[in-house]
Chain A
Amino acid sequence: MTQKGETNRYDLHSRRRRFLGLDKDQALKGLFGGNALVSIIVLALITFFLFKEGVGFFGQYRQDIELHRRSGIEYVEIMKEQSAAFTDLNRYLNSIRGEHATLLQEQGMAFKDARAELKVYEEFIYAFEDLGYPVSEYALEMAEVAIGARDMYEESANLREHRENLLALGRDEEAADVEVLDVDLSLFVGMLKEGEADFLALNDALAAGLLSHIEKLPVIGIDSLDAKMQRFAELSRMFVGELEGYESRLAEWDPDLPVNMVSAFGSFLFGKNWVTNSSIQDWYGILPLFTGSLLVATIAMFFAIPLGVGAAIYVNQVAKPAEQNFIKPYIEFISAIPSVVIGFFGIAVFGQFVREVSGWTILSGFDIFPISERLTAFTAGCLLALMAIPTIFTLAEDAINNVPKSFKEASLAMGATRLQTTLRIIVPTSLSGIISAVLLGFGRVVGETMVVLLCAGNRIEIPNFTNGIGTFFEPVHTMTGIIAQELGEVVNGSIHYRALFMVGMVLFLISLLINYLAQKIVLKYQISRG
């Protein structure tokens, strides 16, 4: 002010420089506000886009399932199911022979002699296969009729749409050239239904043949195998008993039963099959992918929680400053490794390593070892654990660090040991923070794509949970993996395309839920500290 002595000290109007009518504060405010606004808008657009692309799925899927019923494919699938049950029986029979062959081989019998020994099976198996032949052949024939009907119907629907498009564009002449066949699905279904009596006759013959066939059960002379033969006979009798069930389902089947939205919804959420590009029928059931994701995430959390939280407690409570300065950046460094590199490591090194280890004699006590697959839920889970550890470690360490020092001092001043202080004061006080760290780690694992795509084995099937620990060593596919794998190849706007978007929606909702829970818990934590 001294230099400007002559200006009026009490001229209090703003003297700040202006740009576009804004002074510096306002401009900065505008800049940051704008940034926030842009991110919110972009997020909103992404959500909207997901919804828009996904939401048409259920309508299309419902139509698809309805067509599946009205064209009679559903009807034929009942027959196919029966054939599949018969094939299972056949497989069981063959496995008995296979076991016998292995046994002979182990005894050191020459190939030629072994073949002679196994002769006893030959006729029995061939005759057995012949028994099932007429029925499965018939089912195949019917399937061709139904699929043909479905394809013609779709073709005509496409043509009709094409014609209407042309008409709408005013190209009437071209439209007239488009020939649209009216396909009456009920005609085809009528054909199928007419043949039902034939099918029943074939079934009766099959039942009678099977029952008389198992009377001629070959006697092998090895107790364990004979017991299996008896079991086979029992299974065959059960199969004959079940035939009636298939027949009554065929009789009750009604092509005009409406398919409502709820069943489309249920078929997506609880469907056990994810089948695409099938010549018979596509199914979009998310269950195999969901369970796969869950299984992988469970394995990952099993390793990541103790390691991440344990490391956080160690670094914050026990480690010397020198150790802290080494461990913290080191663990956080893991998150800098690109996931594709971790996935590559899984394929090239870790998968093989797990398989080798499973062959060690120490583990031979478990009958699931050694495992045959290299890429399994376990392989992917272990690598994902590696990726979740930095998240869990960093957030848990923060939570522990937020426990007021005065709690620790008070506890130590009471004569508590370091361990008692940690377990009774530090961990309980920071527990909600640790839980939310674990939840966010879980979210990271569920959303991770590259590693599971490369290392989980990508078999679309619900893991067999009756397998005990063997469940963890099955190849699985995941929700994230299927999107990455299939989205590049689908026709834009097709039902498959929309199905993938719906999978994305489910993922989005899961992440949202996890983050919401984590925030809730942290909030509760802040209140509890007063």
Chain B
Amino acid sequence: MTLLTDTLKDSAISPKATTSMSSETSDPSRPLIRVSDFDFFYGEKQALFDINMEMLENEVTAFIGPSGCGKSTLLRCINRMNDLVDVARIGRGKIEVNDADIYDPRVDTIELRKRVGMVFQKSNPFPKSIYENVIYGLRIQGINKKSVLDEAVERCLKGAALWDEVKDRLDTSGLSLSGGQQQRLCIARALAVEPDILLMDEPCSALDPVATAKVEELIHSLKDQYTIVIVTHNMQQAARVSDKTAFFYLGKLIEMAKTDEIFMSPKNEQTEAYISGRFG
């Protein structure tokens, strides 16, 4: 098995290697994230039961399900943010990113998180300027060259569809932006370290419909370059933005299929009940 860090180093030499390679091989069904037989515990309480799923490159996968069903837990397992929880532990199974087991003891979470970015439910820009917010990930890697940073700021803010709104006030505080702008700033910040995967934990739950539409549009445009996993409570949103949808219930993956299929003709009764609004 290739070690993740090795894989990462290869891709780090030329950042676009992974994307260009995938287009060359033109194998759209290559799974970038694979979860197999995965059990997960918070202390004695089991949060995830025997999860098996694959998330394909350059696709948007949506996790839906009622509160407490484990969808956010699984998301936070993919970049090992659950390591911050003292009592969290894995019972069984593994998660692979780009064919490397991310829970291998030799894997450095720092390297992993540079490849697997995350956007949180509540927008959380740092109390710094917009400029400094975007380049935070570069600064911590020791990159201080002005030209590189300027270029990154423009690229990421454009990528997050925020450039036109803030280009004249890059040195004002990130906290002075509106809620939707803040969330897009957080996405821009996540893009700066050039990840391959973006994890989004209910990114629109605190936004008004207009801001939500903008972020959804953004997710659409990011799909070409990134593999996106999004947790959402909003089923219309899942239907709008995702290629695949996975329905979770009580820590189990009930059903996963193409978004059209799952919304039109769910195979499982529970899925149908949830989607049609009969429970949850």
Task: Determine if A90 is an interface residue (Cβ-Cβ < 8 Å).
Answer: no
Kindly specify which of B111-119, B158-166, B222-230 makes contact with the partner chain: B111-119
Please give the distance in Å from B228's CB to the nearest CB on chain A: 15
Chain A interface extent, by class: 20 to 34
Given contacts A415-B110, A530-B175, contact A410 B140 (CB under 8 A): no
A410 and B186 form a contact (CB under 8 A): yes
B186 and A415 form a contact (CB under 8 A): no
**Cα–Cα distance between A429 and B124 once the two chains are bound (Å):** 13
Kindly specify which of A41-49, A289-297, A401-409 makes contact with the partner chain: A401-409
Kindly specify which of A6-14, A376-384, A416-424 makes contact with the partner chain: A416-424
Please give the distance in Å from A521's CB to the nearest CB on chain B: 15
Task: Determine if B184 is an interface residue (Cβ-Cβ < 8 Å).
Answer: no
**Cα–Cα distance between A414 and B135 once the two chains are bound (Å):** 11
Please give the distance in Å from A420's CB to the nearest CB on chain B: 5
Question: A407 contacts which of B113, B124, B173, B190 (Cβ < 8 Å)?
Answer: B124
Task: Determine if B210 is an interface residue (Cβ-Cβ < 8 Å).
Answer: no
A415 and B127 form a contact (CB under 8 A): no
Given contacts A406-B122, A414-B137, A424-B139, contact A530 B127 (CB under 8 A): yes
Cβ of A281: which chain B residues have Cβ within 8 Å of it?
A: none
Question: B84 contacts which of A321, A409, A424 (Cβ < 8 Å)?
Answer: A409
Cβ of B190: which chain A residues have Cβ within 8 Å of it?
A: 413-414
Cβ of B126: which chain A residues have Cβ within 8 Å of it?
A: 407, 410-411, 425, 429
Task: Determine if A528 is an interface residue (Cβ-Cβ < 8 Å).
Answer: yes
> Quick one: which of B148-205 are within 8 Å of A by CB?
173, 175-176, 186, 189-190, 193
**Cα–Cα distance between A416 and B113 once the two chains are bound (Å):** 9
Task: Determine if A17 is an interface residue (Cβ-Cβ < 8 Å).
Answer: no
> Quick one: which of B76-119 are within 8 Å of A by CB?
79, 81, 84, 86, 110-114, 117-118
B120 and A409 form a contact (CB under 8 A): yes
B81 and A415 form a contact (CB under 8 A): no
Task: Determine if A529 is an interface residue (Cβ-Cβ < 8 Å).
Answer: yes
**Cα–Cα distance between A530 and B126 once the two chains are bound (Å):** 11
Point out which of A404, A410, A414 has the most chain B C-beta atoms below 10 A from its C-beta. A414
B84 and A412 form a contact (CB under 8 A): yes
Cβ of B141: which chain A residues have Cβ within 8 Å of it?
A: 415
Please give the distance in Å from B177's CB to the nearest CB on chain A: 10
Cβ of A429: which chain B residues have Cβ within 8 Å of it?
A: 126-127
A415 and B114 form a contact (CB under 8 A): yes
B186 and A424 form a contact (CB under 8 A): no
Please report the total number of B residues contacting A with Cβ < 8 Å.
Answer: 29
B140 and A416 form a contact (CB under 8 A): yes
Task: Determine if B263 is an interface residue (Cβ-Cβ < 8 Å).
Answer: no
**Cα–Cα distance between A168 and B276 once the two chains are bound (Å):** 102
Task: Determine if B136 is an interface residue (Cβ-Cβ < 8 Å).
Answer: yes
Please give the distance in Å from B175's CB to the nearest CB on chain A: 4
Cβ of B139: which chain A residues have Cβ within 8 Å of it?
A: 424
Cβ of A428: which chain B residues have Cβ within 8 Å of it?
A: 127-128
Given contacts A321-B86, A409-B84, contact A404 B124 (CB under 8 A): yes
A414 and B81 form a contact (CB under 8 A): no
Cβ of B127: which chain A residues have Cβ within 8 Å of it?
A: 407, 428-429, 528-530
What per-residue 1/0 map shows which CB atoms of B124-146 lie under 8 Å from chain A?
A: 10111000000011011100000
Q: Which residue in chain B gives the minimum CB-CB distance to A410?
A: B124
Point out which of A410, A412, A415, A425 has the most chain B C-beta atoms below 10 A from its C-beta. A415
Given contacts A321-B86, A406-B120, A530-B175, contact A413 B81 (CB under 8 A): yes
Please give the distance in Å from A166's CB to the nearest CB on chain B: 74
Q: Which residue in chain B gives the minimum CB-CB distance to A525?
A: B127
Q: Which residue in chain A gives the minimum CB-CB distance to B118?
A: A413
**Cα–Cα distance between A414 and B119 once the two chains are bound (Å):** 10
**Cα–Cα distance between A321 and B128 once the two chains are bound (Å):** 30
Cβ of B118: which chain A residues have Cβ within 8 Å of it?
A: 413
B193 and A414 form a contact (CB under 8 A): yes
**Cα–Cα distance between A425 and B136 once the two chains are bound (Å):** 10
A415 and B111 form a contact (CB under 8 A): yes
Question: B124 contacts which of A406, A415, A416 (Cβ < 8 Å)?
Answer: A406
Given contacts A410-B186, A424-B140, contact A415 B193 (CB under 8 A): yes
**Cα–Cα distance between A410 and B189 once the two chains are bound (Å):** 10
B140 and A420 form a contact (CB under 8 A): yes
Please give the distance in Å from B11's CB to the nearest CB on chain A: 14
Q: Which residue in chain A gives the minimum CB-CB distance to B133?
A: A410
**Cα–Cα distance between A528 and B125 once the two chains are bound (Å):** 12
**Cα–Cα distance between A414 and B133 once the two chains are bound (Å):** 11
**Cα–Cα distance between A88 and B193 once the two chains are bound (Å):** 73
Please give the distance in Å from A433's CB to the nearest CB on chain B: 12
Q: Which residue in chain A gives the minimum CB-CB distance to B189?
A: A414
Please give the distance in Å from A21's CB to the nearest CB on chain B: 50
Q: Which residue in chain A gives the minimum CB-CB distance to B115?
A: A415
Please give the distance in Å from A501's CB to the nearest CB on chain B: 45
Cβ of A406: which chain B residues have Cβ within 8 Å of it?
A: 120, 122, 124
**Cα–Cα distance between A529 and B117 once the two chains are bound (Å):** 24
Cβ of A412: which chain B residues have Cβ within 8 Å of it?
A: 81, 84, 113
> Quick one: which of B11-57 are within 8 Å of A by CB?
none
**Cα–Cα distance between A413 and B186 once the two chains are bound (Å):** 11
A414 and B122 form a contact (CB under 8 A): no
**Cα–Cα distance between A429 and B190 once the two chains are bound (Å):** 20
Please give the distance in Å from A324's CB to the nearest CB on chain B: 12
Given contacts A321-B86, A409-B81, A409-B84, contact A414 B124 (CB under 8 A): no
**Cα–Cα distance between A15 and B81 once the two chains are bound (Å):** 57
Cβ of B186: which chain A residues have Cβ within 8 Å of it?
A: 410
Interface set of A (CB-CB < 8 Å, partner B):
321, 404, 406-407, 409-417, 420, 424-425, 428-429, 528-530
The 3 closest A-B pairs by CB, nearest first: A406-B124, A415-B114, A530-B175
User: What are 14 pairs between A and B in contact, CB < 8 Å?
Assistant: A406-B124, A413-B81, A413-B113, A413-B117, A414-B189, A414-B193, A415-B110, A415-B113, A416-B110, A416-B136, A416-B137, A417-B110, A424-B136, A528-B175
Known pairs A416-B137, A530-B173; list 6 more (Cβ under 8 Å).
A406-B122, A409-B124, A414-B136, A414-B190, A415-B113, A415-B137
